[in-house]
Amino acid sequence: MTSQNKTVRLAKMGMLVAISVVLVSIVRFPIFPAVAFLEYDPADIPIIIGTFAFGPIAGLMIVIITSILQGVTVSAASGLYGIIMHILATGAFVLVAGLLYKGNKSKREAVIALVAGVAAMTIVMVIANMIVTPLFTGWPLSAVMEVMPFIVAFNLLKAGVNSII
């Protein structure tokens, strides 16, 4: 890859980060009123596109940069907790989906990769919410477990809708 190609690739990845941050600042709303802190946003869509275009490692870099930028700007209220959770959620999605799609780039493989990414994100967020949420929020594990059905449904819906789009 030439220096010019690397620069163009980096610029495209930067634009996807910027689009992601703009999307989360414009569109975000709670899906379940009972757990209003779980907000849908379409910010993962450009990240998924970047992952499929540039590979899983590039996708993970886009996730990390986007998460930090969102976490210190439009999602500053969630702070470090939000940054960590976004990296874990979307990072799991892009690594699984990106690795599966990388080998055989077809529509069929894209669907399989996206479904696997949705599953990976949901599983990782169940585990992350059991470990990370009590540390940052002070909630006992029993309180986290009470909202776990919402957490599972939220991650399936958010990742599923973003994959379909």
CA nearest to 136, candidates 68, 79, 61, 55? 79
The proportion of the chain whose per-residue pLDDT surpasses 90, expressed as a percent, equals 90
Query: CA 75 to CA 83: how far, in whole Å?
Result: 9
Any idea what the CATH number is for the domain that residue 129 is in? 1.10.1760.20
Assigned domain for 145 exists: yes
- Residue 38 placed within a domain: no
User: What's the pLDDT at 77?
Assistant: 84
Whether 120 is in a domain gets the answer yes
Q: What is the number of domains present in the chain? A: 1
Each residue's pLDDT tens digit, 125-137: 999 999 999 999 9
d(CA 49, CA 63): 12
Is pTM beyond 0.85? Reply is yes
CB–CB of 150/32 below 8 Å?
A: yes
Does residue 91 lie in a domain region? yes
The answer to whether the beta carbons of residues 45 and 158 sit under 8 Å apart is no
Tens digits of residue pLDDT in 44-63: 999 999 999 999 999 999 99
Provide the residue type at 149 as one letter: P
Domain residues for the domain of 158 are 3-33+43-164
Hey, CA dihedral for 49, 54, 60, 65, is it positive or negative?
A: negative
pLDDT given for residue 1 in this prediction: 80
Tokens 């600042």, located at residue: 25
Alpha helices in 27-140 (DSSP H): 44-54, 56-72, 79-103, 107-137
Residue 158 lies in a domain: yes
